[in-house]
Amino acid sequence: MTSSHLKSFEVPHGNLYPRLRLVVGDSVWINGEEHFVQKRQRDKWILIHLETQELLIETDLRLVDLYGSGKLKYRSRSSMCPPLSPMAPHLEDPHARAAAALKHDYVKYVMQHPTGFRTSRKWLKDRIAEKALERGEETSPSPTSVLNWKRLHDAHFQEIGLAAYAPRHDLKGKRGSRLPEAKKVALDRAVDRYLQGGSIKDAHLEALSYISDVNRSAEGKKYSESAPLKHLDEKGLLTPPSLSTLEREIRRKVSPFVKQAGRIGTYYARKNCQSYQTRGLPDRPYGEVEVDFTPVDLILVDDNRVILGRPYLIAFLDRATRMVVGFSISFDVPGYASVLDGLRNAIFQKRIDHIDGLNDEDWPCMGRIENLYIDNGREFANGHLLAAAADLGFNLIRLPPREPWHKGLVERFMREVARFSHRFPGTTHSNAVQHRDYEEPEAPVLTLSEFRDLATKWIVTDYNRRPNRGLGRAPGVPRAPIDAWRDKLDLLDSPSLPSEELFIALAGQTAERTVQKYGVEWDHIRYWSPDLDRILAHPDHRGQSSKACSAKYHVRRDPYDVSKVYLYNHHAKEVIELPVVDKWRKYTKGLSVFQHRLCREHELMREEHRSDPEALWKARAALINAGMGALRSGRRKQLERKLTRYLYGNRAHPGVSELVFEDQCGGEADLIPLTAVHEEPVLVTSDPTTGLESPSTGETQISKIEINSAAGSDDMDEILMLAAQVNSGSRSDA
């Protein structure tokens, strides 16, 4: 009803005012005090206080005011439960009273018309127009509205007056299901079945099965005798809910989160139904660094154009500036050796002036990491990285599994690396299906060193200089990572970095070993130095060794060079460098941990010699010859990958035993730089130099990580069998 309908309309008085639906004997609470209704006298009610027996006389208007303000409550004597309110509280508003009085005016006009009341639509339309003209209104209610008002008048007006016309918003809304109880149970069972998986038709079968069981039961037969006919079939049995009813029930009761959690899993539901908040940038560089591994979508070759396979990339990205602070590319599988290689590159100064058009100053990133964000890969969740974090003084923050958005910066970088690698011949594209669309893919031509230099130049000249909207000082204004680095460089308060040898002593692969008179033994290789005499003669060493267990010391090594290890002497707070004994010196030159273990397994299988250096030299030479022959013969990809890891690892050229080839191994692994965050231990070599102090023994911030001190090794049975066949003469490769 528009406001023009209510203009200059006087609200009638008398019995047209709304009144409560009270009956003699009803209980009434006014301001918390109980009364009961004695009788009605004209337009007033006489109430008696239950305790004091005092009379209380109130008019309808007064009771309505108390009821609308919440100070009055009543209970019907017949039902002993509070009935629905006969009036809407907003009817106390003058505007609402005027609207109710207007409706009553139209109803009274058509009911008291001299020609008599008719339900004809044409007649009603004429009478309504007459009344609207009389009231001076431009618009008039429809015949349907007037008929609805008359029904309300006939039902409630004599009892509650104008309240009969009040809009009952309190009664609007769904009133619950009108289905029989058995059908409700059937639908609930069907919904539960749907959440467990399968189609909606499978869930509907659950409802059909339940209704069938109910119809065969005694309770179902009894219910069929009194149930409404619309819920029964021709035989008088309860009909099952339809498929469309089940669909509506699922839409009504099951939220998208519950549906996805039940049918797919809580991880998927949480990922699709949860919002996220954009975090602010850290204050200074190296405060928060993300790291991740990925295989590169590119096949590489060696200098002789022999296919080596796809390398692995590990990248470190700074959250404060979006800069790539370090990376490493190698044929080694994801493991701590690759993590150590990349960590060294991320922390120390980059040597890139050998690349055309680049200087060392073009990549200025170097410093100590404060917080390193890792995922749950085995290359990160191991005891080596946990010990390195404690000694180098950074915190490990382990992110939840299967939630890559927590390190979205490095994930987006890996996507850009994939796009970069797709530009070159030999790309495998994103997947095998996409690669199959290319009828004549180009043959691979890049070597590991070439691709490493290309990736370095792309990072320095393109990625680190590409504007990023997340770095802007104002929303929507992009800024390059290198500019953000220069702006925040003054906040990078980083202590001096350790030497590269000390870095290995602090961050290399770790193990606990005893000190014997012959030195220290690790993976059946012995290391010795005259400086061990001080440990053997120390009283604390002797005292601890006399107990149930021998005294153990922390020993570290470079996983790409087993020719020496570093022992931490906690008595003198120093690190002692232990070179390999003369017996194994030639064998261990340029040898990695993976190569050594493979050589030993091969020799154990072939001749069952355990500690013969000459046999191990021969095994190493035989494996190199077998590996090169297998690569040229085009064996299966899985075997090629294992051979490439053995021959190359993180090097651009294969390591070759000097017993077979003359000084072509180039020896040692391509090491890369890092940091330590507190006082560092003294590094003692055969020619003692000044150094540092003990590594920190403080705990790092990391969630529970399974400690696995042994480096992961692959199942190399195929390589061993191939090497055995080559040496026994049972087969030959072209």
Does residue 424 belong to any structural domain of this protein?
A: yes
Verify that 296 and 258 share a domain, yes or no.
Answer: no
Q: Would the pTM of this model clear 0.75, i.e. be above it?
A: no
Q: How confident is the model at residue 603 (pLDDT cuts 50, 70, 90)?
A: confident
The rounded distance, in Å, linking the Cα atoms of 465 and 460 is 7
Q: What is the pLDDT of residues 91-126, one digit of tens each?
A: 556 777 788 889 999 999 999 999 899 989 999 999
The rounded distance, in Å, linking the Cα atoms of 45 and 30 is 13
Q: Cα angle vertex 128, ends 122, 130, to 5°? A: 105
Query: End of a domain among 171, 203, 236?
Result: 171
Q: Residue 421 is part of a domain; what is its CATH number? A: 3.30.420.10
Verify that 111 and 224 share a domain, yes or no.
Answer: no
Q: Quickly list H helices, 569-681.
A: 585-588, 593-606, 613-633, 637-647
Higher per-residue confidence, 598 vs 566:
566
Above 70 in pLDDT, residue 222? yes
Judging by beta carbons within 10 Å of its beta carbon (0-12, 13-18, 19+), is residue 506 exposed, middle or buried?
buried
Eight-class DSSP state of 703: -
Eight-class DSSP state of 583: G
Structure-token pair, residue 560: 């790409």
Verify that 196 and 167 share a domain, yes or no.
Answer: no
Verify that 319 and 350 share a domain, yes or no.
Answer: yes
Eight-class DSSP state of 405: G
Above 50 in pLDDT, residue 694? no
One-letter identity of residue 411? E
Relative to beta strand 288-295, strand 72-75 is unpaired
The rounded distance, in Å, linking the Cα atoms of 731 and 128 is 109
Structure-token pair, residue 118: 């008719």
Does residue 619 belong to any structural domain of this protein?
A: yes
Largest interatomic CA distance in the chain: 130
Verify that 257 and 334 share a domain, yes or no.
Answer: no
- Asked whether the beta carbons of 648 and 659 are under 8 A apart, the reply is no
pLDDT at position 42? 77
Verify that 200 and 294 share a domain, yes or no.
Answer: no
Residue with tokens 């467990």: 196
Verify that 598 and 697 share a domain, yes or no.
Answer: yes
Verify that 475 and 449 share a domain, yes or no.
Answer: yes
Please report the DSSP string for 46-76 in residue order. EEEETTT--EEEEEHHHHHHHHHTT-EEEE-
The rounded distance, in Å, linking the Cα atoms of 559 and 57 is 99
Please report the DSSP string for 291-309 in residue order. EEEEE-SB-EE-TT--EEE
Residue with tokens 């639906």: 21
Q: Which residues contact 533 (CB under 8 A, 6 or more apart)?
A: none
pLDDT at position 105? 92
One-letter identity of residue 621? A
Percentage of residues of the chain with pLDDT beyond 70: 73
Q: How confident is the model at residue 665 (pLDDT cuts 50, 70, 90)?
A: very low
Q: How confident is the model at residue 172 (pLDDT cuts 50, 70, 90)?
A: low
Nearest Cα to 575, choosing from 695, 424, 693, 683? 683
- Asked whether the beta carbons of 632 and 722 are under 8 A apart, the reply is no
Does residue 531 belong to any structural domain of this protein?
A: no
Q: How confident is the model at residue 520 (pLDDT cuts 50, 70, 90)?
A: very high
Does residue 535 belong to any structural domain of this protein?
A: no
Mean pLDDT of all residues in 381-385: 89
Does residue 637 belong to any structural domain of this protein?
A: yes
Verify that 207 and 246 share a domain, yes or no.
Answer: yes
Q: Which residues contact 705 (CB under 8 A, 6 or more apart)?
A: 381, 382, 383, 386, 396, 398
Nearest Cα to 344, choosing from 675, 691, 650? 675
Q: What is the pLDDT of residues 666-691, one digit of tens each?
A: 333 333 233 333 455 666 665 543 33
- Angle of helix 200-216 relative to helix 181-195, nearest 10 degrees, comes to 150
Question: How many folded domains does the chain comprise?
Answer: 4
Q: What is the pLDDT of residues 529-560, one digit of tens each?
A: 999 999 998 888 866 555 556 789 999 999 99
Reported as half-sphere exposure (CB side, CA atoms, 13 A), residue 656 has a value of: 15
Least confident segment among 427-441, 457-471, 659-673: 659-673
Verify that 151 and 186 share a domain, yes or no.
Answer: no
The rounded distance, in Å, linking the Cα atoms of 731 and 350 is 46
Verify that 566 and 646 share a domain, yes or no.
Answer: yes
Mean pLDDT of all residues in 360-386: 92
Does residue 116 belong to any structural domain of this protein?
A: yes
Q: How confident is the model at residue 71 (pLDDT cuts 50, 70, 90)?
A: confident
pLDDT at position 281? 87
The rounded distance, in Å, linking the Cα atoms of 522 and 508 is 14
Query: End of a domain among 146, 171, 196?
Result: 171
Strand ranges (E), 388-546: 395-398, 509-514, 520-522, 525-527
Q: Tell me the residue range of the domain where 260 lies.
A: 181-273
Does residue 278 belong to any structural domain of this protein?
A: no
Nearest Cα to 407, choosing from 371, 375, 444? 375
Verify that 293 and 354 share a domain, yes or no.
Answer: yes
Give the DSSP H or E segment for 145. Answer: helix 143-152
Above 80 in pLDDT, residue 280? yes
pLDDT at position 544? 56
Does residue 279 belong to any structural domain of this protein?
A: no
Q: Average pLDDT over the chain, rounded to whole? A: 79
Q: How confident is the model at residue 253 (pLDDT cuts 50, 70, 90)?
A: confident
Nearest Cα to 565, choosing from 502, 523, 503, 505? 505
Query: End of a domain among 273, 300, 316?
Result: 273
Compute how many other C-beta atoms are within 10 angstroms of the C-beta atom of residue 424.
18
